[in-house]
Amino acid sequence: MKRLQNRIAESGLALPVMAVYGLIVWLYSGLVASGWWPQLACYTAAVYLLAELSNANALLRIRSRIISCAFIALSCMASMLFGSLSGSLWLLFHVSALLLLFSTYQNGQAVGRVFYAFVFLGGASMMHVQTLWLVPAIWVLMATQLLAFNWRIWLSSLIGLLTPYWFLSLWFIYTQDFTPLADHISGLWAIGVPFDYSDVTVGQAAIYALTLGLMLTGIVHFWHRSYEDKIRIRLLYGFFTYLGLLALLVVAILPQYFDPFIWLAFICASPLAGHFVALTSTRITNIASIVIAVLVLLITILNLWMPSLHF
């Protein structure tokens, strides 16, 4: 029996409607007044690439755009992040990297795609150097979830990661001033005070709580029904699971890095949430899907009206 959640997930109008919804949120946030057109372009490209990631890897057993819809819904909760060009580039680079990495599944010879994936990650680390914290975990996930890791792959990833810095160093050689680069790299260990929630807003806490709740719900649902999916799909969802939980762990310990890492949490939570909505059809899950949609809308409104509200 198809319920409301299933009809929405399978509807061809779902993504266009969510695209209009997302544009309305962007407009209300200050798109025109603040001239956030480059940020919107990066965001739109990221949504498109996420849809391609879903299609190319058949993340759902049905024809559905619900993963992209889930990402739009989740990301619109954090409308206070729309104005950051570095954050928008960080988002686009990470989706691009995942699209390339997932295409290397069980292919230990895909050094070219791994190189370009890590070029994107290197570019993301130029936006936020803390991206480099994720690299060892991504290497582990490539070995355990993508089954594509050897010394050639590792060397290719390392070269790709350093390539953006190599090009940037040419400018510093020309100016004979490496201070900006040194200051940037020092952010790797200048992490600040852990568990300092003094600057956390109500909106950020609500976003974090709902994203974590969706992640855990999606994880429990997927692994309870994982026998219905192919081994490849289980491993790809495992990649999303571990990377998403790592991003949320970083935010929990170091809330000052909420802005970049919550984007990664949205990327990883969207497939899990989409799988839950599209591939369940009980009365309880239908009610849960409606409740989730209402909560997402309420948090979006809260952050549009009172983005700086503190406890």
Q: Which two tokens stand for residue 168?
A: 């940037």
Reduced DSSP (H G I as helix, E B as strand, rest coil) percent helix, strand, coil of the chain, to 5:
80, 0, 20
Please write the tens of the pLDDT for every residue from 189-233.
878 789 989 889 999 999 999 999 999 999 999 988 878 889 999
Give the list of residues 6+ apart from residue 24 with CB closer than 8 angstroms, or none.
Answer: none
Quick one: pLDDT band at residue 179, thresholds 50, 70, 90? Answer: confident
Q: CA angle, corner 62, sides to 57 and 65, nearest 5?
A: 75
Alpha helix stretches (DSSP H) within 225-282: 231-253, 258-278
Place 311 in a pLDDT band, splitting at 50, 70 and 90.
low
Query: For residue 1, what pLDDT is reported?
Result: 66
Q: Quick check: 270 pLDDT over 80?
A: yes
pLDDT in tens, 75-121: 999 999 999 999 999 999 999 999 999 999 999 899 999 999 999 99
pLDDT digit string, tens, across residues 234-269: 999 999 999 999 999 999 999 999 999 999 999 999
Contacts of 173 (CB under 8 A, 6+ apart): none
pLDDT of residue 130 exceeding 80? yes
- What is the spatial distance between Cα 13 and Cα 18, in angstroms, rounded to a whole number? 9
Specify the DSSP class assigned to residue 104.
Answer: T
Percent of the chain with pLDDT over 70: 99
**pLDDT at residue number 207:** 97
Tokens of residue 57, six digits: 């890897």
Mean pLDDT within 140-148: 96
Please tell me the total number of residues recorded for the chain in this structure: 311
Residues 49-68: what's their mean pLDDT? 93
pTM: predicted TM-score of the whole model, two decimal places: 0.95
pLDDT at position 304 is 94
Burial class (CB in 10 A: 0-12, 13-18, 19+), 86: middle
Own/partner contacts of 7-11, CB < 8 Å, gap of 24 or more, are 8/66, 8/277, 9/62, 9/64, 9/66, 9/274, 9/277, 9/278, 10/62, 10/63, 10/64, 10/278
Alpha-helix runs per DSSP H in 11-65: 14-29, 31-34, 37-57
